[in-house]
Amino acid sequence: MTNTDFTEWLRGLADDRLRALVTTRPELITPVPAHLEGLVIRATSPSAAGRALDRLDRFALAVVETFLVLTEQDGAGLPYKDLRKAVARSVRSGEAGRLDGALREAVDHLRTMALLYGPDTALRLAPGVREVSEAPAGLGPPAIEAFRHHPPERLQELIRAVHRGKDGQGEVAAERLAGLLAEGGVVGRLLDDVGPQARAALDELAWGPPAGRLPNARREVSVATAQSPIEQLLARGLLAATGEDSVVLPREVGLALRGGRIHRDLRPEAPALDGAGREQGLADRTAAGQAFSFVRMAEELCERWSVDPPGTLRAGGLSVRDMKKTVQLLDAPEWITALVVEVAHAAGLVASSAPADGEWLPTTAYDGWRVKATEDRWEALAAAWLAGDRVPGLAGERDDRDRLLNVLHPELRRPAAAEVRLRTLRVVASAGQGLAPSAGSVRERLAFEQPRRRGTYRDQLVDFTLREAEQLGFTGLGVMSVFGRELLPASSPEPAKPPRSPSSRSRAVAPATPAQLLAPLLPEPVDHVVLQADLTAVAPGPLTSELGRWLTLAADVESKGGATVYRFGEGSIRRALDAGSSADDLITMLEKHSTTPLPQPLRYLVTDVARRHGRIRVGTASAYVRCDDPSVLDEVMADKRAVALRLRRLAPTVVASRSTRAAVVDSLRAIGYSPVAESSDGDVLVTRSDARRTERPSSARPSLGPAGPDPDLVAAAIRAVRAGDEAHQARRKPVAAPDGQVPRSPSTSTVLALQEAIRQGARVWIGYLDSQGHATSRILEPARMEGGYLTAYDETRAAVHRFALHRITGVADVG
């Protein structure tokens, strides 16, 4: 059968079957082909066929491999009953009862994906599948291919060895040898002639890989001169030399060694997940606690980087020194800290202020995020992690050039990360209520679902996913949480449903969102602390966002656990004063949120730091220092620790310096003074924690939706392909554009009209400016609209084209 037969089969499918095809293989309509022949060319290309095979599970792939072994390139179709017999021989004992249902489902699915076609009486492989399938089922090439390049005299000698003296004069020697090896009992007879060591060597190749290395593989050897076990095999055609130092096991020999089975212990269904049982309610509460802690760590990170942002390395990422400071700040292991930083970056909460020599700062989006409820903040972080293409678990490892992969480094991107995360979590969710599947069983299930994508790299991503999902709160004690399950997108788009009546819509209950399911499980935040005489404050639980941010500013975290301990010090009080608070403000805030009276040592600390704070003012000269009390400046000038500032007295109350204002402020504070910075107008510069922000990059907006294309776009694309195919077959001439004024309408109305035409499958009349700016009329059947372009079948040109939306002057009905 040829591409023509496949094209005619596709052409004869109903529209719903074509929609199912492009839903399972969306790359076939990106962009929309002009006609069905274009769709066939795209579907049978090596890249598209390979991608389709990558989506098959192990059983469906085994069905395809069975076709490859039992059929030839252009041979007759394979009846379904013969396919079942071949597959049944490979199914492991005890699972034969599930074969019929699984095989029928697999064949139907392969037909839907257009990898198989034809009726059950003559099933055929789609063109292009055989070309991208190497060593199906671990078998070697057919004997006719394995011996194709052997000299004729060598082939005649092999035929005589196989056929006991008779040769193949008058026939193509390679075909004759292949036919002999395929005859029943011939390979078994040859195996009886070789020794046990030769048989053991064949057994190692029987189930793949079928090739091996052998020095001087093309040596001249016969049955009479063979000495070693390998030479016994070469002399009888049981092994074929494919190079100077390589041999391969012919397919006919491999099938005989396997006893007629194509696969070993084939499983019709996915392996069951095993693991520990947990109480679902306990798992949900545990996951909620993890989600709450993760949100607070992300907030704490952004708050601290607002005040003390780390620098951006020239190669991108966070330096090792800054990473260690962040680990101490969050009081978490390095891999958890890397996860928090990477997820905050993926959610658009932190970004670099410049590509080189910039700083990692909170973005303007952070201010909107931090005022939301905790459950909404978690949903934003979790969705960003799930849809992100970066792998935080690789931070700290080295690349192929032995370069360190820092946190936030550009090289942490992996294209497969989002897909592996989603598939892994779907497997965990499929385990059911209260089951925590083991990592090994999850990897085994994924290996069944996508056998062509297995490997050490994929297993590493799976392990990272399971570890990070637990930390984020997707899972609790290894069990998928109810709110984490709800955040997973559907595995396939829902089919379009007819609109409901207003009365039925009013009775419908909207499904709960992940945030709504998480909210009741979160701990209730407290708005009070316990102040102690040792200058500490104990938070008996999670604090409200406002109190937590204020206390982080005015105190330093000393320890975390069931209760968080904050310690007040001169530096932390000065930090709050720099942010614009006064001593009275601090004391009032402490008294308002303390369950105990304000300790006298803490009151003295606040008033003493506030009394000295701001007596010295530092401005820009390069920098200057002024103070109303000349004696204070006398002390500064006499202090040997201030020599590096190169101070020069300009007046009794003013001192100038060649250093920058920031350097002078930091140096004087290190000496023991409490200066404040002032502007050129003499006003005090208030250091607010939210004053330093950068713009959120446009790429930091993850999109997480159902897998597969939109059903409306699929339907419109199939209509366009059908229309283009009709024109292509009939060689229909382009229709004339309507007479009259070229349509003109506002851009908003134009987009809405095109969207409605896509949904209804209607034709429209548009005005369009060509590349020279000339206005033209077109009659279109729109297919899809994305990226600023409209894909449609153009009846005035009898072809599918893409139109720039900004060049469409207006839309009108064809009538």
Domain coordinates of the chain in residue numbers? 3-134, 143-257, 278-487, 530-568+581-595, 615-677, 711-813
**Stronger pLDDT, 256 or 740, i.e. the higher one:** 256
H helix intervals, 613-765: 630-638, 661-671, 711-730, 747-760
Q: What is the pLDDT of residue 164?
A: 60
Q: What is the pLDDT of residue 683?
A: 67
Residue indicated by tokens 């530092």: 618
**pTM given for the model:** 0.74
Q: How far apart are the first and last CA of the chain?
A: 45
pLDDT tops 80 at residue 106: yes
Q: What is the pLDDT of residue 691?
A: 58
**Stronger pLDDT, 351 or 163, i.e. the higher one:** 351
* Closest among 774, 779, 787 to 814, alpha carbons compared: 779
Cα distances (angstroms) measured from residue 254 to each of 223, 259, 263: 21, 9, 11
H helix intervals, 401-438: 417-430
pLDDT tops 70 at residue 687: no
Return the structure tokens found at 800.
């599918």
pLDDT band per the 50, 70, 90 thresholds, residue 172: low
Contact (Cβ atoms closer than 8 angstroms) between residue 70 and residue 82 = yes
Rounded to the nearest 5°, which phi and psi values hold at 487? -80, -20
Query: Residues 288-304: what's their mean pLDDT?
Result: 90
The fraction of the chain above a pLDDT of 90, given in percent, is: 18
The b/e string for 712-738 (b: 16+ C-beta within 10 A; e otherwise) is bbbbbbbbbbbbbbebbeeeeeeeebb
Contact (Cβ atoms closer than 8 angstroms) between residue 565 and residue 536 = yes
**Stronger pLDDT, 158 or 2, i.e. the higher one:** 158
Sign of CA dihedral 793, 795, 801, 802: negative
pLDDT band per the 50, 70, 90 thresholds, residue 680: low
Return the structure tokens found at 25.
């293989």
Q: What is the pLDDT of residue 304?
A: 84
pLDDT band per the 50, 70, 90 thresholds, residue 704: very low
Least confident of 224-228, 414-418, 736-740: 736-740
> Which of 167-176, 381-390, 707-716 is predicted most confidently?
381-390
Return the structure tokens found at 125.
């492989």
The fraction of the chain above a pLDDT of 70, given in percent, is: 90
H helix intervals, 491-629: 502-507, 514-518, 545-554, 570-578, 583-593, 600-612
Query: Residues 773-797: what's their mean pLDDT?
Result: 83
CA distance 567 to 538: 9
Q: What is the pLDDT of residue 644?
A: 80
pLDDT tops 70 at residue 510: no
Query: Residues 481-508: what's their mean pLDDT?
Result: 60
CA distance 91 to 59: 10
> Which of 473-477, 572-576, 758-762 is predicted most confidently?
473-477
Query: Residues 409-421: what's their mean pLDDT?
Result: 89
pLDDT band per the 50, 70, 90 thresholds, residue 404: confident
Least confident of 80-94, 249-263, 639-653: 639-653
pLDDT tops 60 at residue 216: yes
715: Cα separation from own chain's centroid: 27
Kindly give, in sequence order, each residue whose CB lies less than 8 Å from that of residue 753, ignoring residues fewer than 6 positions away. Answer: 745, 764, 811
State the average pLDDT for the chain.
83
DSSP element (H, E) containing 377? helix 374-387
CA distance 296 to 279: 26
pLDDT tops 90 at residue 232: no
CA distance 785 to 803: 9
522 Rama class: left (phi>0) / alpha (psi -120 to 50) / beta: beta
CA distance 406 to 400: 14
Return the percent helix, strand and coil in the chain, to nearest 5.
Answer: 50, 15, 35
pLDDT tops 50 at residue 508: no
Query: Residues 655-678: what's their mean pLDDT?
Result: 81
**Stronger pLDDT, 673 or 597, i.e. the higher one:** 597
pLDDT tops 80 at residue 506: no
Q: What is the pLDDT of residue 386?
A: 93
pLDDT tops 50 at residue 338: yes
How are beta strands 435-437 and 275-277 bridged, if at all?
Answer: antiparallel
Query: Residues 241-257: what's their mean pLDDT?
Result: 87
CA distance 466 to 737: 59
DSSP element (H, E) containing 702? none
Q: What is the pLDDT of residue 579?
A: 77
> Which of 142-156, 271-285, 566-580 is predicted most confidently?
271-285
pLDDT tops 70 at residue 681: no
Tens digit of each residue's pLDDT (9 = 90 or more) over 4-60: 788 889 888 898 999 999 899 988 888 888 888 888 888 888 889 999 999 999 999
CA distance 674 to 320: 31
pLDDT tops 80 at residue 94: no
Contact (Cβ atoms closer than 8 angstroms) between residue 311 and residue 358 = yes
* Closest among 486, 481, 469, 484 to 283, alpha carbons compared: 481
pLDDT band per the 50, 70, 90 thresholds, residue 491: low
